[in-house]
Amino acid sequence: MSRRALRRLRGEQRGQEPLGPGALQFVLHDDDDVEEEGPKRGPGGRRPRGPGKEGVRVNNRFELINIEDLEEAPGVNGDRTDCLLIDAAASGNKRRAQRGHSESKKDGDVTDAAVPPEQSNTSGKLRKKKRKQKNKKNAAGESSENGLEDIDRILERIEDASGSSRPGPPPLSAKKHVLYVEHRHLNPDTELKRYFGARAVLGEQRPRQRQRVYPKCTWLTTPKSAWPRYTKPGLSMRLLESRKGRSAFAFEHSEEYQQTQHRFLAAVESMEPNNMVVLLQTSPYHVDSLLQLSDACRFQEDQEMARDLVERALYSMECAFHPLFSLTSGTCRLDYRRPENRSFYLALYKQMSFLEKRGCPRTALEYCKLILSLEPDEDPLCMLLLLDHLALRARSYEYLIRLFQEWEAHRNLSQLPNFAFSVPLAYFLLSQQADLPDQELSSAKEKASLLIQQALIMFPGVLMPLLEYCSVRPDATVAAHRFFGPDAEISQPPALSQLVSLYLGRSHFLWKEPATMSWLEENVHEVLQAVDAGDPAVEACENRRKVLYQRAPRNIHRHVVLSEIKEAIAALPPDVSTQSVLGYDPLPPLDTIYSYVRPERLSPVSHGNTIALFFRSLLPNYTVEGERPEDGGAGGPHLDQGLNRLMLALRDMMANFHFHDLEVPHEDHLEGDEWD
């Protein structure tokens, strides 16, 4: 048995045995790996083998593993690593057997004789095996590189075919739903990083603390350290039904949350914002209180605080999500008729408005798609009147065109003025991209010209106000023609005038580019030629306008109220403009589904005199004793209309009521008067 094996059995290692008298003599033994002169390392960090050396000896107790092969082998594939370990173990066993055989013959003496032929054959086989492994590795690397190059070529061909190399977000896959929402686009920092860089966006943010204060990670908002510590306010979500791949959910209020909701309604009736602040001190995550106080801050020009309150409301509602509720799938539904669900709609809409004003149209577009996906058939906030505007601002022309192509058949999007003008504008802007083939450029421009001519024939009352918004004076031919004259705008039905005012007040600046205006001018002259030629489509569109746009539905009125566009609000019908609009629930649906009712309130007569009751009746939310707004009262809608007329008359009377100062008699008259 060799001395190396004996040392291993005794548990000793090299360099730990006591030094003897001849320990410092430089005698080369069989188990020494040190040469007198430090040999130079060959390529790959290996020592060149001398004529008297057997092989690589590693001074560790795991000698059977070939370290050089392990370092050279890639560690990604487990099969490759196992093969190397097996080969290294086999080669180690052979070397140890040869070493033991030679040591038993020579009994530990070191000689400089030539290496035996068996050992040389073994080392030659090892070299050949290593060369084969290197060749295999090089071949695999070359094949992988060639495969990657082939994949790159395929991707380039796909991009060239689909045109995804254009600026802006890539086109959506056909497998994804048109209302599919991407998580990364719900974060405004993603868009801001693309505009200004990560250092400018994240430079002022503090590093995250190690202790997690908040219970979960959220997608809609990022919790802030300045917020109150989150405790469950009693808000939850339940699954109502799941049918045909769609799931219906609903928010629920616990008894404690219901009591907070009743206190919130009382604070709203008091018309005192300080009462809302006191309520939020006890219930810091009550959603309706946060939204109402956000509106108050916005009216006072405190935009930062208003946005912070909306984000806190979104965080409170996201923490209450059902485990199966998904923001991105486009298959989860929330019924707007339930008052508990309306807060989520309004919070998303307010957050979307803040993002648009902040300069993040791509993120705002994602929020718009999210709101529309919650109830796409009814569309309670009428997001289709806003989606095209955000898509154009975000330069998502492909998405807008795809939505129009898929929904035109069953939703008649071309009958909305905003889609009738935005889709051809998207085609035209798409044709202005320099990296498109000439054939696609020409086809996109032809499609844009065809659609804009149809839009001008269907909605002739849009042209002159649009030119006025853009500060462009039309030429004499257009201004003098009866088709685009003042009669076109005056003869519009009221509902159509409201839609046109909403579109022009929001999207008129998208038409101010000189190239866009010259393209519009060309198509206006084409339309005038068709009108003069007696095209039957002109008369058909006129008849269609008279039939379709008699009265706008309630969701359009709700959208106009939320948009706060002055031109559109001025076009609201009188029965809507005279109603009291509550910020936390604007124009609630007439078929509301109540899960709980508010307890009866005490009559104001028992708590005040006649004068106080009179001034209280001037409030927009005043109701007659014993009646509830949701029940309609004993008199129904006629009584509500009578109360509205009475309130309007009282307000006019109070506005025109003036106190006249009595003439004070002069002192000389007082002195001259005599008492009888």
pLDDT 10s digits, 419-470: 999 999 999 999 988 777 888 888 999 999 999 999 999 999 999 999 999 9
pLDDT tens digits for range 191-216: 888 887 777 777 655 555 444 554 56
H-type alpha helices, 283-416: 287-299, 303-318, 339-358, 361-374, 384-393, 397-411
What is d(CA 419, CA 503) in angstroms, rounded to the nearest whole number?
Answer: 9
pLDDT band at 51 (very low <50, low <70, confident <90, very high): very low
pLDDT value, residue 461: 93
* Contact criterion met (CB below 8 Å) for 341 and 380: no
pLDDT band at 44 (very low <50, low <70, confident <90, very high): very low
Instruction: Say which amino acid occupies 560.
Output: V
Tokens read off for 336: 């707007």
What does each C-alpha distance from 401 to 178, 419, 430, 601, 674 come to in angstroms?
A: 11, 10, 10, 53, 94
* Contact criterion met (CB below 8 Å) for 310 and 347: yes
What is d(CA 499, CA 384) in angstroms, rounded to the nearest whole number?
Answer: 12
What is d(CA 97, CA 324) in angstroms, rounded to the nearest whole number?
Answer: 64
Given a cut of 60, whether residue 332 has pLDDT beyond it is yes
pLDDT tens digits for range 479-525: 889 999 888 888 889 899 999 999 999 999 999 999 999 999 999 99
Residue 295 burial class via C-beta count within 10 angstroms: exposed 0-12, middle 13-18, buried 19 and up: middle
* Contact criterion met (CB below 8 Å) for 431 and 441: yes
Paired with 247 in beta bridges are 242, 332
b/e map of 602-613 (b: 16 or more CB within 10 Å)?
eeeeeeeeeeee
pLDDT band at 85 (very low <50, low <70, confident <90, very high): very low
- Mean pLDDT (the chain) is 75
In total, the chain counts a number of residues equal to 676
How many beta carbons lie within 10 A of that of residue 362, not counting itself?
21
pLDDT value, residue 275: 86
pLDDT tens digits for range 14-23: 555 555 544 4
The beta-carbon contacts of 160-169 under 8 Å, at least 24 apart in sequence, are: 163/436, 163/440, 165/435, 166/430, 166/433, 166/435, 166/436, 167/395, 167/433, 168/394, 168/395, 168/396, 168/397, 168/398, 169/362, 169/394, 169/396, 169/399
Tokens read off for 591: 């078929």
pLDDT tens digits for range 131-163: 666 565 555 555 544 554 555 566 556 545 544
Q: What is the mean pLDDT of residues 251-273?
A: 91
Q: What is the mean pLDDT of residues 603-632?
A: 52
What is d(CA 60, CA 55) in angstroms, rounded to the nearest whole number?
Answer: 15
Q: How do beta strands 246-253 and 332-334 pair?
A: parallel
SS3 content of the chain, % helix, strand, coil (to 5): 55, 5, 40
Tokens read off for 512: 């101010």
pLDDT value, residue 269: 86
The beta-carbon contacts of 267-275 under 8 Å, at least 24 apart in sequence, are: 268/292, 268/582, 268/584, 268/621, 269/619, 269/621, 271/619
What does each C-alpha distance from 429 to 24, 293, 525, 539 come to in angstroms?
A: 87, 41, 20, 30
Instruction: Say which amino acid occupies 459.
Output: F
Given a cut of 80, whether residue 309 has pLDDT beyond it is yes
Paired with 582 in beta bridges are 585
pLDDT band at 83 (very low <50, low <70, confident <90, very high): very low
* Contact criterion met (CB below 8 Å) for 345 and 380: yes
Our measurement of the distance from residue 136's CA atom to the centroid of its chain's CA atoms, rounded to an integer in Å, reads 47
To the nearest 10°, the Cα dihedral for 406, 412, 418, 421?
Answer: 80
CB contact set of 437 (below 8 Å; sequence gap of 6+)? none
What is d(CA 298, CA 302) in angstroms, rounded to the nearest whole number?
Answer: 5
The beta-carbon contacts of 102-108 under 8 Å, at least 24 apart in sequence, are: 102/30, 102/54, 103/2, 103/30, 108/2, 108/3, 108/29, 108/30
pLDDT band at 169 (very low <50, low <70, confident <90, very high): very low
What is d(CA 111, CA 103) in angstroms, rounded to the nearest whole number?
Answer: 11
State the Rg of the chain over Cα: 41
- φ, ψ of residue 414 to 5 degrees: the values are -70, -15
pLDDT value, residue 138: 58
CB contact set of 219 (below 8 Å; sequence gap of 6+)? 183, 186, 187, 318, 327
* Contact criterion met (CB below 8 Å) for 590 and 631: no
